[in-house]
Structure formats: structure tokens, C-alpha cells
Structure 1
């Protein structure tokens, strides 16, 4: 949904003076590689391809202690791998075993067999893949249940998995939580129009005003254009995209220069997946969850407004539920402030899923 921003940022990085930029990148990647080393006796550091849904898909499993709760991340975009944030979230792996998966169409899975080898690129197919990945991880790590963490568009999968399979998951956590309401709430759209008018961006304003009033009628390209303008018109979101997202990809020890372009290409290929969610209504699909339910949202998120997430959360029925705002953050809040996100995981989630008294798992 934010492909153009990523493409522009990638182009700027690749166009930087070769010797200076690449030398600085090499130093930072080396430091990040050292930071990411796991050498604890009961730790795990596995990355590789697993046959999921008939194609090879990349899965990473990392943590300092296999006795810790297992967290399966569902990345957003669609097509935007969270594996690039490994160095930023290294502290999470002291307390949790973190599983990151490049969905079909995303980064390393895309690179494995190319666009023509991704098979069916639909919401339903990736949803089925997510169930298969869940069961693969449960068997591989001997975990009866695992924590499900949905980021951004990945949270659309996450809500549905949490509703349908409480026997597989010990808790659901949504961040940058997408709430679909069949187009009833247009607060993000109206806020975008206000920002574009205030900044005098007439061309962009005309493009947004020309959209059908019913967002369910938008094409995948129109939704991507709208998301791009939501982000680029907001200084905090744009800063996060450039420094946190593309900066993480540039300095990731797991990713090559070639994969800068592949990251962007993956999001472009994956745009078509959003067609399936245009008519989703999370209230109609159900607000009752038979597992602990958490939402941790950026307080200034313009792509997934915290007010909409809060309204949905307030209607949720769950054995345990909790909501928190991550201060001074827009989208990608968990990665802009990873230590704050870890604090929420430790004080609100881990005591529930690990049966520990609140406040005993310090950072």
C-alpha cells in the first residue's frame, strides 16, 4: 500500500555516492551482524525455505531461549517483510522466540522463484499459507500454542486467524491494526483531504477528490495511491518510512543490494491481494474472541487511525484484553519505538501467555 514511497527511498539510497554510501553500509551491516548473533545454550537462529502451499517460502526463527513464548509475525504491505527490522528488534529475542515469514510475493520468497513462481496471489491463498506456517512452527518448536502478532495489513489476516483458531494461538496482538468496516469510516480519507488543502497540493488533492466516494469501488492501484498520499502528506509517517523502514533495509545484514529493489517489487506484486478485503466488515464477522486480545497502536497513525482501532477494541469480548497507545508514533510504531513495544509485550502479554505474575519479566 506504500510502494511508491519505498521505491523513491530505494532509488535515493542506490543513487548515493557509491564509495561513501557503500562503505558506511558495509560498516553498519557488520555491526548489525554482530548484534544479531545468538550464542546462548538454549537459543535458536534458523533461516531458510520451507514448502508452504506448494512453493518454497522463507521463514526465520530466532530467540535466546526456546523456553520463551513463541511469536509468529504476520507482516504488512502487503508484501513488506518485517525481517529487515532484525537489528532494531534484537532485544525482543531475549524474551520471545520470534518467527518471521516472507509471505508469497514478499522479498526472499519472491526471490526464490520469481514473480511467475508465486502461484495464486490472493487473500484466501495467503490465509491458508498462514495456517500451514502456524502448524509448521508448532511442530518444529513443540509449542501447543503460539502468540499471533499482526502488523498493518497482516492484522487483517490476524483477526480472522484469531477468531477461527483459538486452539492454535495463546494470544492475538495487533499493531498498526487495520480495521475494516465496509467503508463506513472515512476519517483517514477526510484527514488526508484536509492535509492536502492545507499544504496547497492541488494535483494530489484533485486525484483524491476524483476517487469514488465509496472506497469499496477503488481499484488496487487507487488504494495504493491513496495510501501513498496518506503517508507522504504526514511528516511523521514519511520520516518513519525513510529512516526506519528503508534505513533498516539498507543496513540489514540479511539482505543484499539486489533485495532493495525486490522489497519494492514485492509490494507492487502484492497490491492485488487487497481486492479481497474491500468489503470486509470486522464487526459483522464477529467481536468475540476466545483468546487474550491486545492492540498496541501508534497514537498518531494516519494510515490505521487509533480511534477506529479503539472503537473495535471496545466492542471486543475476550478472556483478557488490553489496549495501549505508543506515543509519538504513526505507522510502524513497533519498529520506530521497539523498546516501548517490548515493554508492552513484557508487562501486558507475557504474564498472560507464560503464566507469570505481572511485572516479573523485566527488560
Structure 2
């Protein structure tokens, strides 16, 4: 639980032949029958549909991409997962199926993450675990998707850590995207950690929780200067999650992590790779995230929308809302999710899809044919 609590807070070029995303029963795995049911319900059977997983070489490394949609003519939506190294692919079964009627959904296990982690030597890729490299990887993935599925542009949705990659793509290559959608949006990692910590400590004091107050006060000065400290962050997340900063009205995130066991796309070996990759990536990346900031970005050249949980204090929503109010863009929008914290697409999946369809998806029709 120590690493799990940390995950959500920091938290291709040429592809090989595609294979259908099906998971054979695993001997001795008690969740295999349930996964088979989920797989059968979710199987794409429409004639124009797509359901595949493939390996591609991105930034000199082997990485895995999963694709699902009921109609190839629909616009592509690339989901940039959080973490670092917390892939959404193994939990997407729980919320994504209705989205597949309107978008071709793409989940990409980033370098050092999930199914991509065991495909590369961790020591060899360690020097490449930088923010700039991840942003370049995201751009490569978009270029590959445009070519593979004959699209001029795609939609990009970034969550948490992935939201910084999304802003980076928006800043560097706005020509590639119809629009960027940020949820659990991070603008400045250091300010994010500072504000989140202050909120958590205030909640602990208000609750009269002496244990929490003592553990949190021992972290001072938290995230004020220098590299981020993983142990301090883990302690802060322990209590912020307890007070509902990750999932509104919940004091734990077990429902999120346990849902991975039912994924038809992740065998037990894949879940082990996910955990190993998470530990590796947190150790490698988290200390250097303190330098990632978009506060100086005042203008973007593509539409931008923030879908923010009112109760999100993992990546405090007010910081993102204030930045969006200042930034200039061809089109922008802020949608509040009143019963969500950091996991709005899971906490309010119906409203999330409705707002995508009402505000975002029409932008694909404004482009040229094949866009």
C-alpha cells in the first residue's frame, strides 16, 4: 500500500502486428473467471470496430499500446496515464466502454510502466527517464497513431502526471491535436505538493487526529525547496487519501487498485510488472519533478479544457483553475465535478462522457475530412 498510495499523486515508429486484447485463463488465478466475463462483455464485435494491442518502438524503447473502439471513423482519444507509472489500461474496463461508442480509445503504457516495463533493461533506460523524454515519447505516439489510423489530428486527455505531458504536447505540437483535456491537472509540481500538504495538515488538525498531525508536522519543510523526498510524499499521501483528496467521500483507494485484478487486459504477471515499474519509476522520476512547471506558459495554440474534481487535493484543483483563467487559447473551458476528487472519470463517468460529447468531440468535425 505504501507504493500504491504514492502512485497517483506525484502523482511508436514501427509497430509489430496487432493482436486482439484477450486474456486466456491463468492457472491458479482466482480472478480468471471474472476476467473472462468482463472480456466477453467488452469484446468489440462491430464490423468497423477495433480492438488490438501492439508493441512499438518509441524513443528507442519497446512500449505497449492498447486500442479499443466501436467505429474506426470516430476520433482518437489518447489517454496519458498518471503516476508516474500508473497505467490506466488495467482499470479502463470499469468506466470506458460507453466512451468507445464515440472515440477510439488509446491507452499507452509509458516507458518504465506496466506492460512496457519488462520489455526494456531498467539500467539501460534509467538515463532516459526525464520529463523531456516522456514528452517526446508522447509526441512520437501521436505521430504513430495518426499514420496507423489515418487521422490528421487526435484528442489528448492527460491525468495527473500525464496532465503535465499533455500540456507539454499542447505547448510543443498543437498542430497534432484537436484539443487537450486535463483532469487531475498539474501546473506546477512544487506548488502542487505544498498546497496539498497544507490542506492535509489543516484537515488533520481540524479532526483532532494527533497521530496524523505529528506525522505530517515531522515532514516540515515539505516540498519547499530541493528535490522531492519520496518518503515524505508517501506519508503525506497516506493522510491526504484518508481525508478524501484522491477519491471524494472515501478514506482509501482500494477500490481503484483492486479493480485491476478484473482487467481482461492484465494477467497476474502484467500486474507484477506494473508494481515493479511503479516502484522503479517513482524512485527515478519523483525527485526531479520539482522542476516541472507551466506557470510561465500564458498562451496555447489549440483548444484546452480542464475537467476538475471539486474535492481534488491530490493535485489541488484551484491551482489549475486559476492558471486556466489566465491562459489565452483559441477555445477553453472549465468543467467542475462536484462529487469527484482526483479520479473524475471513475467517480462521475457519466458526466465526464456527457461533457466530452457536448464540449470536446464536436471540435473534430470542425476540421477537414479525415481529421
TM-score (structure 2 length as normaliser): 0.84
Q: 2:171 aligns with which of 163, 172, 187?
A: 163
Q: Which residue of 1 aligns with 2:149?
A: 141
Structure 1 residues 220-253: Cα deviation after superposition (integer angstroms, max 9, x where no partner): 413343334322333845556211x213201101
CA distance in 2, matches of 1:240, 1:173: 26
Shift in alpha-carbon separation, 1:62–1:213, aligned structure 2, 3 A: closer
Q: Which residue of 1 aligns with 2:280?
A: 269
Could you tell me how far 1:298 is from its partner in structure 2?
1.2
The question of whether the paired residues in 2 share the 8 Å contact of 1:293 and 1:322 is answered with yes
Q: Which residue of 1 aligns with 2:184?
A: 176
Q: 2:134 aligns with which of 126, 140, 151?
A: 126
Q: Which residue of 2 aligns with 1:3?
A: 3
Q: 2:293 aligns with which of 278, 281, 284?
A: 281
Question: Equivalent residue of 2:71, what SS?
Answer: coil
Q: Check if 1:230 corresponds to 2:240.
A: yes
Structure 1 residues 87-128: Cα deviation after superposition (integer angstroms, max 9, x where no partner): 221111110011110001111001333634544222222122
Q: Check if 1:48 corresponds to 2:74.
A: no
CA distance in 1, matches of 2:121, 2:6: 20
Name the structure where helix makes up a greater proportion of residues.
Answer: 1
Q: Which residue of 2 aligns with 1:68?
A: 74
The question of whether the paired residues in 1 share the 8 Å contact of 2:192 and 2:316 is answered with no
Aligned-residue CA RMSD in angstroms? Answer: 2.5
Could you tell me how far 1:337 is from its partner in structure 2?
2.3
CA distance in 2, matches of 1:239, 1:203: 16
Q: 2:99 aligns with which of 68, 85, 92?
A: 92
Q: 2:41 aligns with which of 35, 52, 55?
A: 35
Q: Which residue of 2 aligns with 1:109?
A: 116
CA distance in 1, matches of 2:134, 2:193: 26
CA distance in 2, matches of 1:219, 1:59: 30
Structure 1 residues 190-224: Cα deviation after superposition (integer angstroms, max 9, x where no partner): 21002222444444433432332553425341334
Shift in alpha-carbon separation, 1:60–1:2, aligned structure 2, 3 A: farther
Deviates more, 1:208-217 or 1:136-145: 208-217
CA distance in 1, matches of 2:358, 2:2: 32
Q: Which residue of 2 aligns with 1:242?
A: 254
Shift in alpha-carbon separation, 1:6–1:281, aligned structure 2, 3 A: closer
CA distance in 2, matches of 1:135, 1:197: 49
The question of whether the paired residues in 2 share the 8 Å contact of 1:149 and 1:174 is answered with yes
TM-score (structure 1 length as normaliser): 0.86
CA distance in 2, matches of 1:215, 1:158: 25
Could you tell me how far 1:170 is from its partner in structure 2?
1.1
Q: Which residue of 2 aligns with 1:312?
A: 323
Aligned residues, how many? 340
Shift in alpha-carbon separation, 1:189–1:182, aligned structure 2, 3 A: closer
The question of whether the paired residues in 2 share the 8 Å contact of 1:35 and 1:87 is answered with no
Deviates more, 1:264-273 or 1:288-297: 264-273
Q: 1:219 aligns with which of 206, 228, 235?
A: 228
Q: Which residue of 2 aligns with 1:15?
A: none
Deviates more, 1:116-125 or 1:190-199: 116-125
Q: 2:159 aligns with which of 151, 161, 166?
A: 151
The question of whether the paired residues in 1 share the 8 Å contact of 2:79 and 2:107 is answered with yes
Unmatched 5+ stretches in structure 2: 8-27
Could you tell me how far 1:43 is from its partner in structure 2?
1.2
CA distance in 2, matches of 1:277, 1:6: 14
Structure 1 residues 159-209: Cα deviation after superposition (integer angstroms, max 9, x where no partner): 111011111111000011112175388432221002222444444433432
Shift in alpha-carbon separation, 1:116–1:281, aligned structure 2, 3 A: closer
